Amino acid sequence: MAKDNNPRSGRWLVAVIALAAVAAFAVTALLVNIFERKQEARNPFYRVVDLNDTIDDPKQWGEDFPMQYDLYQRTVDMQRTKYGGSEALPHSPTQADPRSVVARSKLEQDPRLKTMWAGYAFSIDYRERRGHAYMLDDQTFTARQQANPPGACMNCHASMVTVYNQLGNGDMFKGFQVVNHMKYPDARKYAKHSVACIDCHDPKTMQLRITRPAFIEGIRALKASQGIANYDVNAMATRQEMRSYVCAQCHVTYYFRGAEKTLTFPWTKGLRVEDIMAAEDESKVTEWQHPQSGAPLIKPRHPEFEVWSLGVHARSGVACADCHMPYTRMGGLKISDHQVNSPLLKVNRSCQGCHHFPEEELKQRAEDIQDRFFNLRNNALDALMDLINDISANKDKASPEQLAKAREYQRHGQFMIDYIMSENSMGFHAPQEAMRILGDAINQCRNGQIALHGGPPPSHNPPNIQNVPPAAGQ
The nearer residue to another protein, 269 or 446, going by C-beta atoms, is 269
One-letter identity of residue 236? M
Rounded to a whole number, what is the distance in angstroms from the first to the last CA of the chain? 107
Q: Minimal distance in Å, beta carbon 10 to another protein?
A: 7
Among 6, 109, 289, 375, binds another protein (CB under 8 A): 6
Which letter, b or e, does each residue of 337-374 get, where b requires 16 or more Cβ atoms within 10 Å of its Cβ? Answer: bbbbbbbbbbbebbbeeeeeeeeeebbeebbebbeebe
With b meaning 16 or more CB within 10 Å and e meaning fewer, what string describes 86-115?
Answer: beeeeeeeeeebebeebbeebbeebeebeb
Decide if residue 226 touches another protein (CB under 8 A): yes
Distance between CA 205 and CA 167 in Å, rounded?
25
What is the three-state SS of 283-300? Answer: CCCCCEECCCCCCEECCC
> What residues have CB less than 8 Å from 156, skipping those under 6 apart?
135, 195, 212, 249, 250
Q: Among 327, 374, 404, 443, which residue interacts with another protein (rule: CB under 8 A)?
A: 327
Distance (Å, rounded) from C-alpha 12 to C-alpha 14? 5
316 touches another protein by CB under 8 A? yes
Q: Which amino acid belongs to residue 141?
A: F
CB 96 to another protein: min, Å = 41
Q: At its nearest, how many Å lie between another protein and the CB of residue 305?
A: 8
In the beta sheet, which residues pair with residue 337? none
Position among 168, 294, 296, 332 found at the interface with another protein (CB under 8 A): 332
Kindly state whether residue 432 participates in binding another protein, applying the rule CB under 8 A.
no
Q: Which of 17, 361, 378, 382: binder of another protein (CB under 8 A)?
A: 17
Q: Does 44 bind another protein (CB under 8 A)?
A: no
Among 8, 189, 284, 356, binds another protein (CB under 8 A): 356
**Residue 343 touches another protein, criterion: CB under 8 A:** no
Minimum distance from residue 24 beta carbon to another protein (Å):
4
Report which of 155, 87, 195, 131 is spatially closest to residue 324, judged by C-alpha positions. Answer: 131
Q: Are 151 and 139 in contact (CB under 8 A)?
A: no
CB of 366 to another protein, least distance (A): 16
Residues at the contact surface with another protein, assessed by CB under 8 A:
2, 6, 9-10, 13, 16-17, 20-21, 23-24, 27-28, 30-31, 33-35, 37, 40-41, 222-223, 226, 228, 238, 240-241, 244, 270-272, 275, 306, 309-310, 314-319, 322, 326-329, 332, 348-349, 352-354, 356, 358
